[in-house]
């Protein structure tokens, strides 16, 4: 099926709408002119009947029938409309009858059969006439007065007007359609410019932007929307490239170490103790690499919208307690005091218990890693304004103010905060923020360099009966 351009379709719609409108206007104009002509002629006929009535009231009582006919003949010649009227009494006797109407034998109703008045249109000897008949009473006697007016000139005028409409309407329609097509193509020209500019932009030059016309209309909003989309795409592609480069960099180090250690072990000439140390080192690096790969796969599934999280009733306090117990061994190993203050009230929400446990453990793990020897970590869970608030506060080295905006970025490290020697790949806080966002919560950080850091997570709770909780 062949498709036409938007300009052509707009012009076609314009042609159809304008054709209907012009046709309706032409028909309405013709009928309005016809009604106006009939209205003017009918008013003239009524005036003539009133004139005949006044004449009869003044003359009929003092004149005989022949004299009345002479007066009528003189009156009809001198009066407006010419000699086109006739008058009869109640018995149908003619008081006066114009020669043209008498020759054409135009019938006239008796006063008794005529209720009040009526209009008629007749054609007599190639002439179109408009008749008006009215019942009048003069000196107590009823009469019928009928007057007529030639309609030839009026109908000729109506015919000329109809021809003008039939001739002018198609011309106006063609000119208007051509003008509509020209206007539509001119109005859509900026859209073609936008399309051509968008075709030039690819993944290699995402930094380019469309020209935004300062028109304040839909074209400006379209250009701004496309530029905003390109900015998001550029940011996503940049993050993807950075993610790939960082992942390759993070994987290169443990893989190189595993390979080097394995090569040394294969060469031989090493003691059993050295072989054991090599295996321990390979195992440690393999575990670290496995954790890194798991984190990368988790973030990749998150980017693809496949988080795999469960949506069930979960107690935030229970998840936090399990995370604290898991982190206690790590804290004892580092000589860090780990304490907790957990709410005794139900903290029930719809979420994934394993993900929440991982969230709290990530924050505890970071608090322990970047703490000072003999420092402390305090975990607190309470309820505030219908939300579960979980805070993890440490007495560690803190985070510089300029670094706080980047700590949730993937693979990001600050020299004073993170290092590969601590075993981190810079993905923990990124995963933590993703878990919080998937639970419609918020996460904030407050830090004082060299003194302490506090991460605060707010998660929305649901209202459940006490017995069910």
Torsion, Cα 188 192 195 199, to 10 degrees, reads 180
The CATH number assigned to the domain with range 312-460 reads 3.30.565.10
* pLDDT of res. 413: 63
Q: How far is CA 206 from CA 223, 228, 232, 315, in A?
A: 15, 12, 10, 45
pLDDT at 183: 77
> What pLDDT sits at residue 86?
87
Least confident of 97-101, 146-150, 161-165, 332-336: 97-101
Span 251-268, average pLDDT: 74
pLDDT at 216 over 60: yes
Q: Do domains 6-157 and 218-303 have the same CATH topology?
A: no
The mean pLDDT of 179-201, rounded to a whole number, is 76
Higher pLDDT, 192 or 22: 22
Q: Domains of the chain: which residue ranges?
A: 6-157, 218-303, 312-460
**Among 324, 399, 417, 398, CA closest to 365:** 324
DSSP classification of residue 203: G
User: Cα dihedral angle (107, 110, 114, 118), rounded to 10 degrees?
Assistant: 30
Pairing outcome for strands 376-384 and 337-342: parallel
Q: How confident is the model over 248-268, as a mean pLDDT?
A: 72
Cβ(340)–Cβ(380) below 8 Å: yes
pLDDT bucket at 82, cuts 50 / 70 / 90 = low
Packing angle of the helix pair 65-78, 6-59 (nearest 10 deg):
140
Predicted local distance difference test score (pLDDT) of residue 1: 39
Q: Pick the most confident of 73-82, 111-120, 287-296, 347-356.
A: 347-356
34-38's contacts with Cβ under 8 Å and 24+ in sequence apart are 34/158, 37/154, 37/157, 37/158, 38/130
* Fold (topology level) of 6-157: Beta-Lactamase (3.30.450)
Would you say residue 423 has pLDDT above 50?
A: no
Task: Tally Cβ neighbours within 10 Å of residue 146.
Answer: 26
CATH domain 218-303 topology: Helix Hairpins (1.10.287)
pLDDT at residue 2 is higher than 60: no
Task: Tell me how many degrees the CA angle 128-129-131 measures, rounded to the nearest 5.
Answer: 155
Length of the chain: 469
Please write the tens of the pLDDT for every residue from 13-62.
878 888 888 888 888 988 998 899 889 998 999 988 888 888 888 777 66
Q: State the pLDDT at residue 417.
A: 42
CB 324 within 8 A of CB 360: yes
Share of the chain above pLDDT 90, in %: 10
Rounded Cα distance between 30 and 272, Å, is 114
Instruction: Give me the chain's average pLDDT, please.
Output: 79
281-311 pLDDT, tens digit per residue, is 778 777 777 766 776 777 666 666 666 677 8
Q: Distance between CA 329 and CA 104 in Å, rounded?
A: 128
Give the DSSP per-residue string, 231-281: HHHHHHHHHHHHHHHHHHHHHHHHHHHHHHHHHHHHH----HHHHHHHHHH
Query: What's the confidence (pLDDT) of residue 154?
Result: 85
């Amino acid at each position: 099926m062949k498709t036409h351009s938007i300009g052509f379709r707009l012009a076609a719609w314009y042609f159809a709408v304008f054709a209907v409108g012009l046709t309706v206007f032409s028909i309405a104009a013709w009928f309005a002119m016809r009604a106006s002509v009939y209205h003017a002629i009918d008013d003239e006929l009524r005036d003539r009947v009133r004139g005949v009535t006044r004449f009869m009231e003044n003359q009929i009582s003092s004149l005989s029938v022949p004299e009345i006919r002479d007066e009528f003949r003189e009156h009809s010649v001198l009066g407006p409309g010419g000699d086109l009227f006739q008058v009869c009494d109640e018995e149908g006797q003619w008081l006066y009858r114009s020669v043209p109407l008498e020759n054409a034998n135009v019938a006239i109703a008796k006063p008794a059969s005529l209720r009040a008045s009526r209009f008629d249109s007749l054609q007599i000897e190639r002439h179109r006439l408009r008749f008006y008949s009215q019942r009048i009473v003069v000196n107590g006697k009823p009469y019928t007065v009928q007057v007529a007016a030639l309609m030839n000139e009026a109908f000729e005028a109506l015919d000329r007007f109809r021809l003008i409409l039939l001739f002018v309407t198609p011309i106006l329609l063609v000119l208007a359609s051509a003008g509509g097509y020209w206007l539509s193509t001119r109005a859509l020209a900026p859209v073609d410019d936008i399309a051509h500019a968008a075709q030039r932009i690819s993944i290699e030059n995402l930094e380019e932007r469309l020209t935004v016309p300062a028109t304040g209309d839909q074209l400006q909003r379209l250009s701004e929307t496309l530029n905003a989309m390109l900015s998001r795409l550029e940011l996503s592609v940049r993050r993807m490239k950075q993610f790939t480069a960082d992942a390759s960099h993070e994987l290169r180090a443990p893989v190189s170490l595993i390979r080097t250690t394995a090569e040394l072990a294969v060469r031989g000439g090493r003691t059993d103790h050295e072989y054991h140390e090599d295996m321990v080192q390979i195992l440690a690096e393999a575990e670290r690499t496995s954790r890194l790969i798991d984190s990368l796969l988790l973030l990749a599934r998150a980017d693809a919208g496949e988080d795999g999280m469960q949506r069930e009733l979960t107690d935030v306090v229970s998840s936090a307690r399990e995370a604290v117990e898991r982190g206690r061994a790590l804290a004892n190993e580092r000589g860090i005091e780990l304490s907790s203050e957990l709410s005794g009230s139900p903290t029930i929400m719809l979420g994934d218990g394993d993900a929440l446990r991982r969230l709290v453990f990530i924050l505890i793990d970071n608090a322990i890693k970047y703490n000072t020897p003999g420092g402390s970590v305090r975990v607190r869970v309470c309820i505030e304004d219908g939300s579960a608030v979980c805070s993890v506060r440490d007495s560690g080295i803190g985070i510089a103010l300029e670094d706080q905006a980047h700590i949730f970025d993937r693979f990001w490290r600050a020299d004073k905060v993170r290092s590969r020697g601590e075993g981190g790949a810079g993905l923990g806080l990124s995963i933590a923020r993703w878990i919080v966002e998937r639970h419609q919560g918020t996460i904030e950080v407050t830090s004082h360099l060299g003194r302490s850091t506090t991460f605060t997570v707010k998660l929305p709770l649901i209202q459940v009966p006490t017995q069910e909780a």
